[in-house]
Amino acid sequence: MRTILVINLKGGCGKTTVATHIAAAMARSSAATGLADLDRQGSARRWLKLRPARAEAIQGLDWSKALGKPPRGVDRLILDSPAGLRGDALTAAVDLADCIVAPILPSVFDEMATDRFLKRIDKIKAVAKGATPTLLVANRYRPNSIAGRRLEAYIAGAGRSLTARIVERALYADLATQGLTLFDQTTASARRIQEEWMPLLEAVDRA
Amino acid sequence: MADEREISIKAAPAAVAALRARLLKRPGAETVSLYSAYYDTADGLLGANRIAFRVRKGDGDVYIQTIKTAAPADQPFKRGEIEQPLADERPEIGALQAVLAPDQFRAVEQAGLAQRYATIFDRTRAPLSGLDRSGEAFTAELALDVGRIEAGDRILPISELEVELKAGSSAALFEVAKAWVGGGVAGIQVTSKGARAEQALSGAAPSVAYARSFTPDPKASALASFGQMAQDCIDQWTLNLPNLTETGDVEAVHQARVAIRRLRSLLVVFAPIIATDAAAADLAALKRAFLMLGDIRNIDVLAAETLPLLMASGFDPRDGARVQAALARRREALWRAAVERIDGPGHTRMLLGLAGWLEGDLWQAEAEPVQRLWRQRPLGPFAAQRLDRAHRKARKAAKRAEAGAIADWHNLRIDLKKLRYAAEFFGGLYPADAARPYVRALRTLQDDLGRLNDLEVAQATLLASGRAAAAPDRAAFGRVALYAQAYLAGASSGATGALARKWRAFAKIDPFWRED
Ligand SMILES: Nc1ncnc2c1ncn2[C@@H]1O[C@H](COP(=O)(O)OP(=O)(O)OP(=O)(O)O)[C@@H](O)[C@H]1O
Ligand SMILES: [Mg+2]
């Protein structure tokens, strides 16, 4: 089993969107998939309730009060975390994970927050030792925008790299309200957009 | 047919003249007469050393002696070939010194070489070049060989079109060969001329090919593993064709069916990661071939297993003899029809199409990006997921069967068969003693279900054969079918309880692929 923690201190940067997409893609590639919601807001749980029966099944887990035990038979477990997870709760979640996925927004205001967040994560033993990789995902990315270029420069300056760039698209909000993701769609245009996610999914699978 | 650079297809004698004319129209085409004598000692010392010794006479009084040695297992590129011109047709035995140890050479010298067999044929050859489906260039040679093999006191005809790939992808080889099928060119000639000669000398029937045992590499990707296993299935099918078309032994029919069933189960097990669109028509034809051989197999099982069982239940032995004789005639007719199909253009194109699909990597066409995740995952987790799925499916079928009728047990039988193949494909990934109890319990359960199914199939086969039989036999078939029916009724009424017990014993065993 492989556990993937989706996390960032910032609210609204796309944690739930990224977590649900990873979960749906894994389920679609026939891995038995679980999605644990660590957030009291319960957006991931709500999304699962909306999920239609014809979509690839994902096992939901409510871990908003405390981390639970990974269920038997699950190949991929995705953790969707709340904004502002800190202290022991953060360490405990990171300790469970085989890899960390951090969505970041290409906004000036996010840089400082991302910086703080990455420093904090880096102090956790498993991350410091290099056992748990941190994968950065630019979300709501717009190619050729000033903000996009700023983000690239900032990441490069920090000696890190972006694993994937997820372009800003209205359909993400629409899909979320139906309990779906891009990976539940089979149109040619959906498949093209799925390619944006592939570097992240492949990295998660390898980690 | 992995890494094959050559394919031979049988050419009907009636089609030869037109085919030759067609080839000779191509620029650079020519016909040469080839006489080749193959030598060995009386007790086959050269053959035992995997050495072929040939003297060939071409047009004009030119004689060439060729010694071919097989590559040693540890040095695959060391396959040797020594060629030298001769003054006349007499072999130059001294040349063997280069390939034999001194004591062996002395033994050969003392024994002396004698002609073992000869091939005498006209070869019309024509060069061919072009682009394959993926746009890659290829060059090939087409050769129509017509003549005979003289082996001992037997003469075997030679009439075949050979396609040899000189450069290009092996997918091109299958494409070219497929394009030349039809108009009397059909039926893969699996056995080489030399092997046919040796077979005639030994008087043995062509051998039966079994599944190679596959040792999967847990670190190899799931995708690469599929390629290897599918190749093995197609090889097993192809290698059984000589026996299938020449003698049609019970075991060859059975193993040919095993080959197809393995391939089809492999396609089910690997369905999420492979593309079958390009092979859909060929796979449908393969299924038809499977069913065709199934009719023969059903008679074989009936004659060898079920009928003796029924005989013990006491019907008139004269009916038994009548039915056996009629079944043998029916089998013969079905077999002849099957040979015609197997050596026909449809089956030939199917086989070349499937080989090309595999060699040309058409099965790797990607349906959706996430397939890449599957494909790159190592075989280990992939196998566990697929085994789990087959296991869960069988459990569901068993639950239905325990509550249901005999038909539900038959559905379980099918699901268990798939589970068994998955366990066999992937079993090598796990310690042998881990998989053994599971597979053993699975097998005993399957055997019981299989026996029940045999009885049911036997009854259907008796009825179908009875309908096809001549009037005096028909009555005998009717009487035997009645016995079969009574026997089946008795067997199934007692069976479900025993089956349920065996299922529970099997269900208790922990699946060997689960970690915890
Ligand atoms: N690439 C994108 N393009 C357009 N809209 C997006 C994209 N990613 C996320 N969104 C939208 O942004 C909003 C916030 O996203 P999401 O809920 O995934 O963030 P979050 O980090 O989980 O938020 P929270 O901190 O509240 O848990 C949602 O309405 C979502 O549909
Ligand atoms: Mg959220």
The model's pLDDT over A74-131, given as tens digits with 9 standing for 90+, comes to 989 999 999 999 999 999 999 999 999 999 999 888 888 888 899 999 999 999 999 9
Contact A194/B385, CB-based, under 8 Å? no
- How many other β-carbons are positioned within 10 Å of the β-carbon of residue B146? 20
Whether B38 and B44 have beta carbons less than 8 Å apart is answered as: no
Distance in angstroms (rounded) separating the CA atoms of residues A98 and B343: 57
**CATH code, B146:** 2.40.320.10
In this structure, is residue B218 part of a structural domain? no
Specify the ligand 1 atom closest to the Cα of A82.
Answer: 27
Cross-strand pairs, A162: A136
| Interval between CA A143 and ligand 2 midpoint (Å) | 24
For residues B178 and B242, membership in a common domain is answered with no
For residues B241 and B154, membership in a common domain is answered with no
Contact A183/B388, CB-based, under 8 Å? no
For residues B241 and B178, membership in a common domain is answered with no
Range of the domain at B448: 237-507
In this structure, is residue B183 part of a structural domain? yes
For residues B124 and B245, membership in a common domain is answered with no
CB-ligand 1 contact for A47 (6 Å cutoff):
no
- DSSP 8-state symbol, B44: -
For residues B304 and B449, membership in a common domain is answered with yes
The token pair that represents B191 in the structure block = 């056995």
| ipTM score assigned to the predicted complex | 0.87
Q: Whole-prediction pTM value?
A: 0.83
| Interval between CA A139 and ligand 1 midpoint (Å) | 9
The answer as to CATH 3.30.2400.10 being correct for domain A2-206 is no
Residuewise pLDDT in 10s, chain B (516 residues): 334 588 999 999 999 999 999 999 999 999 999 999 999 999 999 988 889 999 999 777 889 999 988 755 444 444 578 899 999 989 999 999 999 999 999 999 999 999 999 999 999 999 999 999 889 999 999 999 999 999 989 999 999 999 999 999 888 999 999 999 999 999 999 998 988 999 999 999 999 999 887 788 888 888 888 988 999 899 999 999 999 999 999 999 999 999 999 999 999 999 888 999 999 999 999 999 999 999 999 999 999 998 988 888 778 889 999 999 999 999 999 999 999 999 999 999 999 999 999 988 889 888 889 988 888 888 888 898 889 889 999 999 999 998 887 788 889 998 998 899 889 889 889 887 888 899 999 999 999 899 888 888 998 999 999 998 888 899 999 999 988 888 888 887 778 888 889 999 999 998 998 875
For residues B25 and B67, membership in a common domain is answered with yes
The token pair that represents A129 in the structure block = 């030792």
Whether B184 and B163 have beta carbons less than 8 Å apart is answered as: no
Place of tokens 């096809």: B468
Using an 8 Å CB-CB cutoff, list residues of chain A that contact chain B: 25-26, 28-32, 72-73, 75, 183, 186, 191, 194-195, 197-198, 201-202, 205
**CATH code, B370:** 1.40.20.10
- DSSP 8-state symbol, B182: B
A–B: how many Cβ contacts below 8 A? 42
Distance in angstroms (rounded) separating the CA atoms of residues A4 and A71: 14
For residues B263 and B177, membership in a common domain is answered with no
For residues B277 and B389, membership in a common domain is answered with yes
Domain-terminating residue out of B182, B204, B226: B204
In this structure, is residue B189 part of a structural domain? yes
| Interval between CA A8 and ligand 2 midpoint (Å) | 10
For residues B185 and B289, membership in a common domain is answered with no
Whether B144 and B16 have beta carbons less than 8 Å apart is answered as: yes
Which of A32, A73, A194 comes nearest B369 by C-beta?
A194
For residues B27 and B124, membership in a common domain is answered with yes
Looking at the structure of chain B, the number of domains it has is 2
* Alpha-helical runs (H) found in B240-316: 241-246, 250-269, 280-301, 307-311
Q: Give tens-digit pLDDT for B260-279.
A: 999 999 999 998 889 999 99
